[in-house]
Structure 1
Amino acid sequence: MIDIITGIILAAGSSKRMGKQKLILPLKNSTIVENAVETVKSCKAFGEILVVYQSEEVMDRIKKYDVKTVYNAKAKDGQSTSVIEGIKNSDPDAKAYMFIAGDQPFITKDIIEALINAWKKNQNSIIVPCYDGKKGMPTIFPAEFRQELMNITGDTGGRTIIQGNSDRVMFVDFYDTMAGFDIDTPEEYNETLKII
């Protein structure tokens, strides 16, 4: 049987620091969120891909892609609610979940595939990327952590589980510091446009 990995793109943030919905801002030939979806879709290792959203503007951008969309009515309560909605709506036979931020423009297919390959060789491990020593996303959790992930609260995502299971965490090192960069402010968006 194929090891089903569910890709869950977290795209339900309120973009408070940006002052407007950042995920629909122009990037390359599309938008920030479309760039994330296209990058994830370019990897053939996923059994399914879900996008958890709150904004109708984001939904309008992603509905043309062949991905499962999940509306998060509780997004204001933090990232944990998107993690929970993603898992609740994913394939019950999934062997692992990869959580991908919708606002990391420098994440590449190669990075995603390197993380998946690390998990395939270490299927009991939580896989966490380190960008020049700094922990980041996307992260992969084996399905045995499903219930723990469903119990998280607030805006911490899976960090508390990673901290509480340090013996199960495998770090994958990347030397591209920009890969871990996410866009939160107008200044960060403008910096991104200069690089891309």
Structure 2
Amino acid sequence: MIPIILAAGESKRFGLQKLNYPYRGKPLIQWAIDVVEENFSEGLLIISQTLDLSKARVRKLKLILNKNPELGLSNSIKLGLMAAGGKDVIIFLGDMPEIDSELVQKVMSFSKDKIVFPNFNGVKGFPVFIPAGYLKSACEIEGDRGLRDLIMRSEYITFEWTRSCIFDVDLPEDLEGAGEDG
């Protein structure tokens, strides 16, 4: 299984490259890097040219440059899936700092033949496990779309979790009061 962190977004709503902003004492992107490196021996980090990793610590992840982030989320997903070489993947987003090892282990504890993801009050969360059998269909997505349509028309397992599985940073004010459950 190959973990993929998607971190090549343009941060349009935030106004600046949000993944470099501090969150609880370290760059926002570092939270995703740390949880992946704690739980896996290797992984992929899909980045854009605007992401400065000089303040981040990356030890086990292979960096893949998305030269066309304007093509949307689907382009980053496809780059990650191609680099994963046909293996099962588990997808993380670089702007979701509240995902922890307990959640990662819970996602990985389920059947490996179905898509698996947490939810909070009916909202689909992350990380998302995608078995290799779905990768061809996943590579057909286009534009600034994630895998939601594929997931919803596939066999999947979901389970209720805390707000941490859906908390992401889109705006500077999202960093204020972060970590509050609600």
TM-score using structure 1 length: 0.85
Q: How far apart in 1 are the matches of 2:178 and 2:30?
A: 15
**Larger displacement relative to structure 2 (70-79 or 52-61):** 52-61
Of 162, 187, 195, the residue aligned with 2:173 is 187
1:75 aligns with 2:61: no
The corresponding residue for 2:141 is 152
The corresponding residue for 1:26 is 22
The corresponding residue for 2:102 is 110
Say if 1:53 and 1:59, in contact at 8 Å, map to a contact too. Answer: no
Q: How far apart in 2 are the matches of 1:67 and 1:144?
A: 24
Specify the SS of the correspondent of 1:34: helix
Q: Percent of aligned positions with the same letter in both sequences?
A: 27
Say if 1:6 and 1:47, in contact at 8 Å, map to a contact too. Answer: no
The corresponding residue for 2:116 is 127
Specify the SS of the correspondent of 1:9: strand
1:161 aligns with 2:161: no
Say if 1:8 and 1:49, in contact at 8 Å, map to a contact too. Answer: yes
Q: Deviations over 1:38-94 (max 9, x none)?
A: 011111xx35310000034334345642210000012111111010000111244x2
Q: How far apart in 1 are the matches of 2:134 and 2:164?
A: 29
Count of aligned positions: 181
State the superposition RMSD in angstroms. Answer: 1.9
Structure 1 residue ranges, 4+ long, deviating more than 4 angstroms after superposition: none
TM alignment of 1:55-94, pairs within 5 A:
55-62=49-56, 64-92=58-86, 94=87
The corresponding residue for 2:13 is 17
Say if 1:27 and 1:193, in contact at 8 Å, map to a contact too. Answer: no
Specify the SS of the correspondent of 1:145: helix
Change over 3 Å in CA distance of 1:178–1:123 after alignment to 2: closer
Q: How far apart in 1 are the matches of 2:68 and 2:100?
A: 29
Change over 3 Å in CA distance of 1:115–1:72 after alignment to 2: same
Deviation at 1:132, TM superposition (A): 3.1
The corresponding residue for 2:164 is 178
Say if 1:23 and 1:32, in contact at 8 Å, map to a contact too. Answer: yes
The answer to which structure has the higher helix fraction is: 1
Say if 2:41 and 2:60, in contact at 8 Å, map to a contact too. Answer: no
Say if 2:120 and 2:166, in contact at 8 Å, map to a contact too. Answer: yes
Q: How far apart in 1 are the matches of 2:152 and 2:13?
A: 27
